[in-house]
Structure 1
Amino acid sequence: MRISYSALDTYKNCPLKYKYQVIDKIKTPKSKEAVFGSVLHSTMKFIHTPCILSPTLEQAMEFFSNSWNPAVFNSPEEERAAFVQGVKIIQDYYKRNNPTDFNIVNLESRFQIEIGEENNKHIVSGIIDRIDRTEDGFEIIDYKTAKKMPTQERVETDMQLSVYLQAFLSQYPEERNNLDKIKVSLYFLKHGMKLSASRTAEQLKENEQAFLDTIKLIEEKKFEPNISPLCDWCGYQNICPMWKHKFKETRKIDTEEINSMIGEYIDLKSAVSITKDRLAELQENIIAYMEQESVERVFGANGIIAKSLRVTYKYDEEKIQTILEPLNKWQAVLKFDKIALKNIFEILPTQAKKEIEKAKIIDKKTSGLIVKKS
Structure 2
Amino acid sequence: MSSSSESAEARPRRPKPLALSASRAADYRQCPLVYRFRAIDKLPEPKTRAQVLGTTVHTALENLYALPQEKRTAAEAKRLAEAEAETAVAEGGIAADVIAPEDTARFRSDAAGLVRGLYVVEDPTRFSPHSCEDYLLTATAGGTPLHGFVDRIDIAPTGEVRVVDYKTGKLPRPGYESGPLAQMRFYALMYFLLQKEIPAQLKLIYLKAGSSLTLSPDEHMLSRTADELDSLWEQIERDGENGTFEPKTSKLCGWCDHKAHCPAFGGEAPEYPGWPGTRKVNA
TM-score, normalised to structure 2's length?
A: 0.72
Q: Between Structure 1 and Structure 2, how many residues are aligned?
A: 239
Q: What CA deviation, in whole Å up to 9, does each residue of 1:258-305 have, x standing for no partner?
A: xxxxxxxxxxxxxxxxxxxxxxxxxxxxxxxx5xx659xxxxxxxxxx
The structural deviation recorded for 1:116 is: 3.9
2:127 alignment counterpart: 102
- For 2:138, which of 92, 98, 113 is the aligned residue? 113
Distance, in Å, in 2 between the alignment partners of 1:187 and 1:193 is: 6
The structural deviation recorded for 1:63 is: 2.4
More displaced 10-residue stretch of structure 1: 145-154 or 62-71: 145-154
Check whether the contact 2:151–2:166 (CA below 8 A) recurs between aligned residues: yes
1:247 alignment counterpart: none
Mapping of residues 25-40 of structure 1, within 5 Å:
25-40=42-57
- For 2:116, which of 86, 91, 101 is the aligned residue? 91
Letter in 2 for 1:188: Y
- For 1:6, which of 17, 23, 26 is the aligned residue? 23
Check whether the contact 1:130–1:141 (CA below 8 A) recurs between aligned residues: yes
- For 1:214, which of 229, 232, 236 is the aligned residue? 232
Check whether the contact 1:131–1:139 (CA below 8 A) recurs between aligned residues: yes
Check whether the contact 2:20–2:145 (CA below 8 A) recurs between aligned residues: yes
Mapping of residues 1-374 of structure 1, within 5 Å:
2-49=19-66, 51=68, 53-68=70-85, 69-70=88-89, 71-73=96-98, 75-76=100-101, 79-117=104-142, 121-134=143-156, 136=158, 137-151=160-174, 154=177, 158-173=181-196, 175-176=197-198, 182-221=200-239, 222-228=244-250, 230-231=252-253, 233-243=255-265
Return structure 1 stretches of 4+ with deviation > 6 angstroms: none
Q: What 5-or-longer segments of structure 1 have no aligned partner?
A: 244-289, 296-374
The structural deviation recorded for 1:155 is: 5.4
Q: What 5-or-longer segments of structure 2 have no aligned partner?
A: 1-17, 90-95, 270-283
TM-score, normalised to structure 1's length?
A: 0.56
Distance, in Å, in 2 between the alignment partners of 1:103 and 1:229 is: 42
Letter in 2 for 1:141: V
Say if 1:83 and 1:229 are closer, same or farther in 2 by CA, change over 3 A.
farther
1:361 alignment counterpart: none
Identity among equivalent positions (%) equals 24
Say if 1:142 and 1:48 are closer, same or farther in 2 by CA, change over 3 A.
same
Letter in 2 for 1:87: A
CA-based RMSD of the aligned residues comes to 2.9
Which structure has more relative contact order (CA 8 Å, sep 6+)? It is: 2
The structural deviation recorded for 1:84 is: 2.7
Check whether the contact 1:149–1:188 (CA below 8 A) recurs between aligned residues: no
Say if 1:62 and 1:157 are closer, same or farther in 2 by CA, change over 3 A.
closer
Distance, in Å, in 1 between the alignment partners of 2:100 and 2:250 is: 26
Distance, in Å, in 2 between the alignment partners of 1:15 and 1:124 is: 18
Say if 1:294 and 1:165 are closer, same or farther in 2 by CA, change over 3 A.
closer
Q: In terms of Rg, which structure is larger? A: 1
Letter in 2 for 1:125: H
Query: Which one has the bigger strand percentage?
Result: 1
